[in-house]
Amino acid sequence: METGTPAPQVWPTLRAADARALIRFLVEAFGFQEIVTYGEGDFVAHAELAWPEGGGVMLGSERETPEGAEARPGRPGTFTAYVVTADPDGVHARAVAAGARITTELTETDYGSRDFAAADPEGNRWYFGTYPGAPRPPAAQD
């Protein structure tokens, strides 16, 4: 049995004015992998993109919901994510080659990360860096 990266247990979610174009951009510029996309024509009901090093995002076309505006993810262009990568220089080079707008150049941070930031065509901000988060305390034993 083949094992891969575990499925995410937390899914950041965003809406896009042009979801199909955003999917293409995230795949080409940053290296996300398109796992599944449902919808017809220009409308994307649901899409899942995986980050090769673990995790992923869900996205879809902007739309009204029966529950109203408070039940929707943020408006297009209001999403921000930090994506952990062992190769921020490689992701940066790929993003630049794909025409991504770099908003913060590669830098070394005070907390030991090497990272950069870019905006996608919808205006969402994507940060890529080596900081994996602070160590977690050991799980309590029963």
pLDDT band, very low/low/confident/very high, at 1 (cuts 50, 70, 90): very low
DSSP single-letter state for residue 69: G
pTM for this model (two decimals): 0.85
Spell out the domains of the chain, with CATH numbers in brackets: 13-63+78-129 (3.10.180.10)
Q: What pLDDT shows up at residue 142?
A: 61
Distance CA 46, CA 39 (A): 7
Q: Given a cut of 60, is residue 67 above it in pLDDT?
A: no
pLDDT band, very low/low/confident/very high, at 9 (cuts 50, 70, 90): confident
Distance CA 43, CA 62 (A): 9
Distance CA 139, CA 115 (A): 30
Quick: pLDDT tens for 85-138.
999 999 999 999 999 999 999 999 999 999 999 999 999 999 999 999 888 888
132 within 8 A of 82, measured Cβ to Cβ:
no
Q: Which of 32, 36, 54, 33 is nearest to 45 (CA)?
A: 36
Distance of CA 132 to the CA centre of its chain: 15
3-state secondary structure of 28: helix
Quick: pLDDT tens for 36-56.
999 999 999 999 999 999 999
